[in-house]
Amino acid sequence: MTAFRCSRLTTVVVGAALLCTAVTAQAREFSVSTVLSDAFPWGQAAERWADLVEERSEGRITLRVYPNSQLVAGDQTREFSAMRQGLIDMAIGSTINWSPQVPELNLFSLPFFMPDESAVDAVTGGEAGEMIFDAIESRGVVPLAWGENGFRQLSNSQGPIAEPGDLNGLKIRVVGSPLFQDTFTALGANPTQMSWADAKPALTTGAVDGQENPLSVFDVARIDQVGQEHLTLWNYMNDPLIFAVNERVWSSLPEEDQALLRQAAIDAGQWEIAMTREQESERLAAIQERGVQVVELNGEQHQAFVEATQSVYDKWVPQIGEDLVETARDGIEAR
């Protein structure tokens, strides 16, 4: 028998055909890629989006979440390209991971550019955020909403890091972005690029001395169990998340479904941002209770890191776009 799927319908089977009565819309299912599972806020954002879409479409639209970068064989830096090519329908992706294909996203990776959460909000919610969304859409992907992976902190197995000189010679795992290579090289470290799937084994064996990630990742993944006994709170960059859809998939949807998906993404993103920020102090307390030694930079120490990474700006601002960087800076100063 030939099968046809209908939603919110009464169905009658006649011979080899499935006739749908009171047809309002055809049910559709889409893939959603994420790097982390729902043990982390990132993955929880994807599940929240899927649940809201399921509820608001009354089952007509299903978002099936594929965590751990499984749709790109664990290579998180391929996610944007795969979505642009139509191999992935939708994704909630990191600005870091998508920056090789969208250079404007490197704005968020400029070291010590955004001092606090209000600065992040000023960028994502202002003119600079609109410019970034335009840059993404020009590359065949439709951005819908912002989420947040949080400020990234530095951990290592060798000792406290309170000044740039403490990083000299340390092997630090970084993501596959050249800007990260330049930042840690400027600080005297030995940056080692690898995927998140390879990072924890490398920390376990001592192939790398340290890593940088938000507190949520450090906490949930129990990075302290692989020798990361020293943690420096330096807020050197923030990693917003972006809810997005392949352009051809988006164009295939009626306007009412586009509106439903966008609003559900906005709501899921706002929910996830609030949750991520609210849990920061609780996560830090839990990490300290497990014996991790925490260094929180004072103003003078922070400024030393800022000055040590100025060469990164000289190289990367022209690649990101001077207009975008200036617009973002204006938004931060005006917040």
Report percent pLDDT > 70 for the chain. 93
Reported confidence tier of residue 34, pLDDT bands at 50, 70, 90:
very high
**Structure token digits, residue 133:** 């969304």
Helices (H), ranges, 99-195: 117-124, 127-137, 178-186
The string of pLDDT tens digits covering residues 62-77 is 999 999 999 999 899 9
Instruction: Report whether 132 contacts 320 (CB < 8 A).
Output: no
**Mean pLDDT on 12-21:** 38
Going from the C-alpha of 215 to that of each of 58, 154, 157, 234, the distances in angstroms are 36, 9, 16, 12
* Confidence (pTM): 0.90
Domain limits of the chain?
10-334
Has residue 2 got a pLDDT over 80? no
CATH class of the 10-334 domain in this structure: alpha beta
**Mean pLDDT on 21-30:** 67
**Mean pLDDT on 292-321:** 97
- Out of 15-24, 141-150, 167-176, 298-307, pick the least confident: 15-24
Has residue 288 got a pLDDT over 90? yes
Reported confidence tier of residue 196, pLDDT bands at 50, 70, 90:
confident
What is the pLDDT at residue 25?
57
What is the pLDDT at residue 7?
38
